[in-house]
A and B are shown apart, each in its own frame.
Chain A
Amino acid sequence: GESVGLHLPTLSVQEGDNSIINCAYSNSASDYFIWYKQESGKGPQFIIDIRSNMDKRQGQRVTVLLNKTVKHLSLQIEATQPGDSAVYFCAENRDQTGANNLFFGTGTRLTVIP
């Protein structure tokens, strides 16, 4: 079946190193992708998005890469900080009617080691 998933459920990195969180999707018709960060006890918080007509988008300390050929999405966090520790979700918009219905992966827990 179709799924939005993550290669690794947990990731530990040293403070100051770069982090890469991966996400695989299987619906080639998906045209919009978002990365969310969820800290303990809080709701998901938008980090960055990318539309399918792009392959790279940069924000502040974050970059999202989209490889439509292999249906792969990644989130790169530069100079990871303790405040980056959280669960990260990728989400894809599969609904071609424009209803803005997102399908979420199960998440990757990022732990930053001081």
Chain B
Amino acid sequence: EAQVTQNPRYLITVTGKKLTVTCSQNMNHEYMSWYRQDPGLGLRQIYYSMNVEVTDKGDVPEGYKVSRKEKRNFPLILESPSPNQTSLYFCASSLKRGLYEQYFGPGTRLTVT
């Protein structure tokens, strides 16, 4: 089944404790992206990657890092999480750069205390 998977689905952590949210897609997509979703603000892009070893900042990149060492994986790294990073996070992928539908993962709900 073609899908985007994220782990963990739920995470509660404390300020300053490094964490990684994994994202994997099995569709051989070139383009991958991370979003955060907050009430009243909709989905905002954090980082995106147009292919292996090619990443770039989205609208709200502060406090986040990403890497794209393999085509299928695009982990989101929070080196020192803070409470304002409490949010619902979605990973998405699409076939390639350009005007293509993005497929979303199921989401990761992160709480930073």
Contacts and interface: CB of A to CB of B under 8 A. Distances in A.
Contacts of B90: 43-44
A32 B48 CA distance: 18
Interface string A14-57: 00000000000000000110101000011111100101000000
B52 to A, nearest CB: 16
Contact of B98 (A42, A89, A100): A100
A100 B99 contact: yes
Interface string B34-61: 0100001111110010100000101000
A12 interface: no
B107 A42 contact: yes
Contacts of A49: 99, 101
A32 B99 contact: yes
Interface of A: 4, 31-32, 34, 36, 41-46, 49, 51, 89, 91, 93, 98-107
Q: 8 closest Cβ contacts across the A-B interface? A: A43-B104, A104-B43, A32-B99, A106-B42, A104-B42, A44-B104, A98-B98, A46-B101
Given A99-B97, A100-B48, 17 more contacts: A4-B42, A34-B101, A34-B102, A41-B107, A42-B107, A43-B106, A46-B101, A46-B103, A89-B43, A93-B99, A98-B97, A100-B33, A100-B50, A100-B98, A104-B42, A104-B43, A106-B42
